[in-house]
Structure 1
Amino acid sequence: MDALIEKGWSPHPFRNFVLKIHSRCDLACDYCYMYQAADQGWRSQPRVMSRALVRRVAERIAEHARAHALPHVNVVLHGGEPLLAGHRHLGFAATALREALPPAVGLRVSVQTNGMLLDEEHLRLFARLGVRVGVSLDGDQDAHDRHRRRADGRGSHARAVAAVRRLAEGPYREIFGGLLCTVDPRNDPVRTYEALLAHRPPAIDFLLPHGNWTAPPPGRASGSPATPYADWLIAVFDRWYDAPVRETGVRSFEAIVHLLLGGTVALEGLGLSPMRCVVVETDGAIEQGDALKTAYPGATATGLHVATASFDAALRLPAVAARQLGAAALAADCARCPVRRVCGGGHYAHRYRAGSGFANPSVYCPDLYRLIGHVRHRLAADVAGLRADGRTRVSR
């Protein structure tokens, strides 16, 4: 780390804070990176982050914001399933965060939920406190219930859809943050997208299932040139891009377009911007992003705790610095790749291979290369159209 600083590198302060307000869940999704992954540390975590720890985390975030003159910070109340913490505890957490931060620092609080417990009382609370709500929904009933089931095997689609409708169709739409969908190539891509679109979400996030070279994701055989995830996403991209009017935002598509046009994005898994997110577990431990739990036990650990360490202490750790180095941290194959600025090497967790750590391309490398190439081709065709007749979709 000292050598990096001597070369002129400096750490980038965290702007995004994930609070594990509750460590358990009321679903048993078979692809879950918390409960089905190599790291089973959740078993020893307290179920709920105590009020004393919530206050301490809020103080640490405020300390970090002051030290770096941050204009705003984002805090996600997460889990497990955060709504298991209860209305009062969630309200306490959101209020404690606002009270701790200096008035000049903007605060955006959000909650990511499976929707099973999202009721009128939660919605009134979140609307009053300005907490945005994202819901995990994998498409229509067949697509969603393929993975997102309760412990007894029953599906969760009906309850999730009911939660989304409360957000989308009533007085709480202004706090509707969007939908999060995990990709399964067995589900029809366009039907899945249109099932999500039916709820008029302000944004959709399509997530690749977490996996790596040692534990590959479903259908992504090591060394195979097949691109099942790119094929799926390309079908959705074309449906989204060819719509006559903008129907919703799709973060990954918008990020790829922006990067191809020369911009930068702060989105984990695309681009070369430094990682600026940190996690606090229910016991107060400061950790790296949850997806690393799919690599090996202890992959997220920093050895730091909010009671005794600042977030600046985490910034000085080599494992955190490695995720802020951009192109300098890419594997040799990635450094030579023509789409490295857009791909950014892929999600850090997806690079892991036992024996070589994270110094590898993404296990999704063929999919990312194909998807980015397709989007680039569509943009190039639009640019050609602009030159010919002055009309284009590039600015959508």
Structure 2
Amino acid sequence: MRDDGRILSSGVDQGVAVDSGSMPREDRTEWPETLDVPALVAGGWTPTPFGEFVVKVNSRCDLACDYCYVYEMADQSWRDQPMRMSTSTAAWLAHRIAEHAEAHGLRSVELILHGGEPLLAGPDLLSAIVAGVREAVGERARVNARVQTNGVRLDAGSLRAFDELGIKVAVSLDGGRAAHDRHRRFANGKGSHDAVAASLALLRGSFPHLFSGLLCTVDLANDPVATYEALLGHEPPKMDFLLPLGDWSSPPPGRVRGSARTPYADWLIAVFDRWYGAPRKDTEIRLFSEIIQLLLGGRSNNESIGLMPVTVLVIDTDGAIELSDTVKSLRPDSSVTGLHVSRNAFDEALLLPDAAARQIGELALAPECRSCQVRSVCGGGYYAHRYDRGRGFANPSVYCPDLLKLIGHIRNAVAADLERFR
């Protein structure tokens, strides 16, 4: 418990919903607030419909991770959110997803149950949301559902409920016990690794077909290969590595403005060499696989790299529509759009400057990025990592040197392999 008496963690007391979508935004002139979307449309640009919906089913957490962007950074709006999404909000959510799918002829949509910690909402609510969306969408599109959880409360009951609806399960895990428990602890300071490991054993042992993969946040204090092998011990079908949230105004650990050092590239390269050089493919690592795909001329489905339009939409617990939850790390009102599922179609969000900025490819890149030879692979990096107070998002990623070195290393490894087959 926190000192305000509320449960926190991976991403409330049951309370009255606050319509954060109606909160006034600050008068800002940071880019892309100045982006002329009507001019883009008049010039022939057409927005790409949303296809991935991150639903904040619960706004509290049972862990107190010290790097959490929901509870530990600039935006503290979680305090005003209802603990769980109401049935009324869930119904509006289902209606809006179905409306959007029909309007754009979508054949499939991704539904990610998120939080806070989504398992705190209980399996009945999670199942009801998935079933409600699928009923509203009908035969028009396939609804692929997944829950992103810290794993602490994953038990046989919830897994049976997920199995009935084919809800996949992705778990956050930062490595072995010492690596994981450095940041991902309960509010009393106790580490959560053992509880997560027990849940993963249950998931793999009884419901392996539901296991979607592992999500790991990079910590330079952890040995990269040992971290990878600890994750591999849970036999994930897929894993992904996330760079810590940080930007030019609040740099992540180990990154200094103007420094050419590449601590994150060095960490990830050690993992890549272990993964790529293995005699057989142990698992898929999404970041590496998609960089390789881009280097070979393909497309990326990862919003942290590449220039493909970002089609992710976030719906908060009270029904407020957001374009990104991770930008909450930047400033108190950074995620507010003024839109709400009860009032606004998702098409209205497509025409917001922040949405357009994520969809216009090279036009959204800083001048130095547009002249970079790996721009089509890097894509300027993850959007939240580009922010600089006073300038907005018209900057390279704060991880620019790391991305450049990592992409170059992977390119050389792939080129050497291709050369062997010539």
| TM-score normalised over the length of structure 1 | 0.97
Displacement of 1:104 in angstroms is 3.0
- Please say if residues 108 and 142 of structure 2, whose CA atoms lie closer than 8 Å, have aligned partners that are also in contact: yes
Alignment of 1:365-380 (within 5 A): 365-380=400-415
CA distance in 1, matches of 2:400, 2:324: 21
Displacement of 1:217 in angstroms is 0.6
Which of 127, 133, 138 is matched with 2:174 structurally? 138
Displacement of 1:92 in angstroms is 1.1
Which structure would you say has the larger RCO, counting Cα contacts within 8 Å and 6 or more residues apart? Answer: 2
SS of alignment partner, residue 206 of structure 2: coil
Which of 104, 126, 130 is matched with 1:94 structurally? 130
Partner of 1:384: 419
Alignment of 1:63-102 (within 5 A): 63-102=99-138
Displacement of 1:231 in angstroms is 0.4
Alpha carbon RMSD of aligned pairs, Å? 0.7
Which of 209, 218, 222 is matched with 2:257 structurally? 222
Q: What letter corresponds to residue 244 of structure 1 in structure 2?
A: P
Partner of 2:372: 337
Partner of 2:54: 18
Which of 258, 266, 269 is matched with 2:293 structurally? 258
CA distance in 2, matches of 1:320, 1:291: 14
CA distance in 1, matches of 2:310, 2:325: 13
Partner of 1:35: 71
- Of 220-229 and 340-349, deviating more is 220-229
CA distance in 2, matches of 1:202, 1:19: 24
- Please say if residues 106 and 140 of structure 2, whose CA atoms lie closer than 8 Å, have aligned partners that are also in contact: no
Partner of 1:245: 280
Q: What letter corresponds to residue 35 of structure 1 in structure 2?
A: Y
State the Cα deviation string for residues 320-350 of structure 1 (Å, max 9, x = none): 1111101111000100111100000000000
* 2:321 is equivalent to residue 292 of structure 1: no
Displacement of 1:166 in angstroms is 1.2
Instruction: Give percent identity, aligned residues only.
Output: 57
* 2:354 is equivalent to residue 316 of structure 1: no
- Please say if residues 102 and 140 of structure 2, whose CA atoms lie closer than 8 Å, have aligned partners that are also in contact: no
| Structure 1 runs not aligned, ≥5 long | 388-396
Q: What letter corresponds to residue 314 of structure 2 in structure 1?
A: V
CA distance in 2, matches of 1:356, 1:208: 22
Q: What letter corresponds to residue 415 of structure 2 in structure 1?
A: A
SS of alignment partner, residue 139 of structure 2: coil
- Of 294-303 and 149-158, deviating more is 294-303
State the Cα deviation string for residues 368-394 of structure 1 (Å, max 9, x = none): 00000000110111111111xxxxxxx
Q: What letter corresponds to residue 191 of structure 1 in structure 2?
A: A
CA distance in 1, matches of 2:409, 2:201: 34
Partner of 2:340: 305
- Please say if residues 101 and 140 of structure 2, whose CA atoms lie closer than 8 Å, have aligned partners that are also in contact: no
State the Cα deviation string for residues 82-101 of structure 1 (Å, max 9, x = none): 00001211121111111111
CA distance in 2, matches of 1:201, 1:53: 34
Which of 107, 125, 129 is matched with 2:165 structurally? 129
Partner of 1:394: none
Q: What letter corresponds to residue 108 of structure 1 in structure 2?
A: N
| Structure 2 runs not aligned, ≥5 long | 1-36
Q: What letter corresponds to residue 110 of structure 1 in structure 2?
A: R
CA distance in 1, matches of 2:55, 2:304: 21
Displacement of 1:312 in angstroms is 0.4
Alignment of 1:111-260 (within 5 A): 111-168=147-204, 170-260=205-295
Q: What letter corresponds to residue 162 of structure 1 in structure 2?
A: A
Across the two proteins, how many residue pairs are aligned to each other?
Answer: 386
- Of 78-87 and 91-100, deviating more is 91-100
Displacement of 1:171 in angstroms is 2.8
| TM-score normalised over the length of structure 2 | 0.91
SS of alignment partner, residue 133 of structure 1: strand
Displacement of 1:37 in angstroms is 1.2
CA distance in 2, matches of 1:311, 1:366: 36
Q: What letter corresponds to residue 57 of structure 2 in structure 1?
A: I
Q: What letter corresponds to residue 65 of structure 1 in structure 2?
A: A
CA distance in 2, matches of 1:171, 1:162: 12
- Runs of 4+ in structure 1 deviating by more than 3 angstroms, as ranges, are none
Partner of 1:351: 386
Partner of 1:393: none
Partner of 1:363: 398
SS of alignment partner, residue 103 of structure 1: helix
Partner of 2:42: 6
* 2:88 is equivalent to residue 57 of structure 1: no
CA distance in 1, matches of 2:196, 2:263: 27
